[in-house]
Amino acid sequence: MLKTNNNQSKDLRGALEWLKSEGLLLETDVEVNPDLEITALEKHLDGSLPMLFNNVKNYPHLRAVTNLFGNTSVMNKMFGWENDTERTKDISYALTHPLPPIEIDQDEAPVQEFVITDDLDVNKWLLAIKHTPLEDEFTIGSGQSVVVGKYFKEGSHVGYNRMSFRWGNVGTFQAAPGSHMWQLQVEHYNKPEGIPITMCFGIPPAANLMAGSGFDYVILPKGCDELGIAGALQGEPLRIVKCRTVDAYALADAEVVLEGYLKPKDRRWETTEAEKQGLQGKAWFHPEWAGYQGKAYKTSTFHVTAITMRKPESKPIIFPLGVHTMDDSNIDTTVREAAIYELCERLQPGIVQDVSIPYCFTDWGGCVIQVKKRSIIEEGWQRNFLTAIMSCNQGMRIAIAIDTDVDINSMEDIMWAVTTRVNPKTDIISPVPGGIGQTFMPAERMTAGEKDWTASNTRFEGGMAIDATIPFGYEEDFHRPTYAVDKVLIKNFFSDEQIKKGESFMSGWVKILSKTGQ
């Protein structure tokens, strides 16, 4: 049963107010420059508290928040989850118990308090940023595409897509090959006027989490209700509103919305340098989730017909974030972990105990599943899970199965299990060689040779599925020793100050092992 969420609000503003009331928000009135400063400050406090900037250079009508999902403990508290495992199981339940969004009238929608149809220079109204010194141009990656109804098999979609508005109201629109927005463009490629959609900014936190779920389309296929799942996560339906200029819907409680047409046939270069080179995947772009500097491509375009927002005097809030940060990682992995858990549960219930995607596995690059074999008959299911996960998650390069005596949140404990429990000849499998991969992985780009680094020219190596579990019946041969830390109390021998000083010199794996006695 899904836990009722009483903490996070139903829009971004309310969530920030709650964070502030809990002492979990860093707020500043010092002017921040979108040119490198926002992402650099986020990286300074990577994995820490959300940051709200009330004074953004060149954008007096906007505020900016970042690091909103940077810390999992803060995120769990925001949604009312006791721990990471409860979060994964809670979201897994929501995947099959959505609360469909409800439509409200245009005059009730906060995001349509101010409507612009004439001055459509997007970079004037929307916060564009530079991530790193290597980038020549400002880009917008803080928006979520929203599609509701006939263009998504009567379901609803929400997801991230990066854009570069080099032509006023026309910007590039990057959709990863195989993604929902890629599927939509393939189906409606020849639609002459384009596909009516919205790009929503500053959306409710639950919708933001759903926007990060990508390439888990066995569980979230075209036609599913992603906005409904977000509604289940926040405890009540999201609100949507009909657009002013196109036949589409927007999130009514967003801060800013771009209405317009996605045109797959009108393809343009993401940067001036890429256009000069005439080469795909060579000119610098903002960093990508794999942890490498991104490259620019020739993409579809989005033609804006209207900009709607909350009243400018209320200073709408945009959520820009660095890529390959904990903020980005948690957005991209939280629902994905639950989808992998749900996949395993559908194959054979009760065996998988938890799923984790460590930061170093780079969002879509891998996962760890924790299993509990209840009888000899269940030996082998962990391998079925691993191969299914890698087949159903495009481009996944590594998946590891571990036992319940291994801490799924400790990479050192996981690597200890890999080191001591894996037979390299029988326990490492490459499930999908030659299949579809992820072009943003440089190792896959290498397979293109001298050709453009595009999905059509690259080949997936197949990834690694690693069974690091103990064969059923041999548990005593792999028994971990446990020292009597629960019986011998350190406080009986040393003062609190001495204990604190001693523990201050401990770091890494030893801190985990000292707690369990292993």
Q: How confident is the model at residue 147 (pLDDT cuts 50, 70, 90)?
A: very high
Which residues are CB-contacts of 182 (< 8 A; sequence separation ≥ 6)? 175, 176
Query: What is the reported pLDDT for 394?
Result: 84
Residue 109 has pLDDT above 70, yes or no: yes
Q: How confident is the model at residue 459 (pLDDT cuts 50, 70, 90)?
A: low
Structure confidence by residue, pLDDT tens digits, 384-413: 999 999 999 888 899 999 999 999 999 999
Query: What is the reported pLDDT for 9?
Result: 75
**What is the distance between the alpha carbons of residues 455 and 467, in angstroms, rounded to a whole number?**
29
Residue 70 has pLDDT above 70, yes or no: yes
Query: What is the reported pLDDT for 446?
Result: 66
Structure confidence by residue, pLDDT tens digits, 298-336: 999 999 999 999 999 999 999 998 888 999 999 999 999
Share of the chain above pLDDT 70, in %: 95
Residue 102 has pLDDT above 60, yes or no: yes
Structure confidence by residue, pLDDT tens digits, 500-511: 999 999 999 998
Structure confidence by residue, pLDDT tens digits, 364-381: 889 999 999 999 999 999
Residue 168 has pLDDT above 60, yes or no: yes
**What is the distance between the alpha carbons of residues 229 and 236, in angstroms, rounded to a whole number?**
10
**What is the distance between the alpha carbons of residues 58 and 56, in angstroms, rounded to a whole number?**
6
Residue 445 has pLDDT above 70, yes or no: no
Domains and CATH numbers, the chain: 84-318 (2.30.110.10), 348-478 (3.40.1670.10), 481-517 (no CATH)
Q: How confident is the model at residue 455 (pLDDT cuts 50, 70, 90)?
A: low
DSSP codes, 381-395: HHHHHHHHHHHHSTT
Structure confidence by residue, pLDDT tens digits, 73-83: 999 999 999 99
Query: What is the reported pLDDT for 435?
Result: 76
Q: What is the mean pLDDT of residues 283-305?
A: 92
Query: What is the reported pLDDT for 216?
Result: 87
Closest CA to 200 of 143, 244, 124: 143
Q: What is the mean pLDDT of residues 130-146?
A: 95
Query: What is the reported pLDDT for 112?
Result: 98
Residue 186 has pLDDT above 60, yes or no: yes
In eight-state DSSP terms, residue 479 is P
Q: What is the mean pLDDT of residues 50-63?
A: 98
| 322 CB-contact burial (10 Å; exposed 0-12 / middle 13-18 / buried 19+) | buried
Local structure of 181: helix, strand or coil: helix
Residue 4 has pLDDT above 60, yes or no: no
Averaged confidence pLDDT in the chain: 93
**What is the distance between the alpha carbons of residues 135 and 284, in angstroms, rounded to a whole number?**
6
Residue 473 has pLDDT above 80, yes or no: yes
Structure confidence by residue, pLDDT tens digits, 194-234: 999 999 999 999 999 999 988 889 999 999 999 999 999 99
Residue 5 has pLDDT above 60, yes or no: no
Residue 457 has pLDDT above 80, yes or no: no
Please tell me the pTM assigned to this model.
0.94
Query: What is the reported pLDDT for 97?
Result: 97
Query: What is the reported pLDDT for 289?
Result: 81
Local structure of 116: helix, strand or coil: strand
Query: What is the reported pLDDT for 41?
Result: 96
Spatial contact of 310 and 253, defined as CB atoms under 8 Å apart: no
Residue 290 has pLDDT above 90, yes or no: no
Share of the chain above pLDDT 90, in %: 83
Q: What is the mean pLDDT of residues 156-167?
A: 96
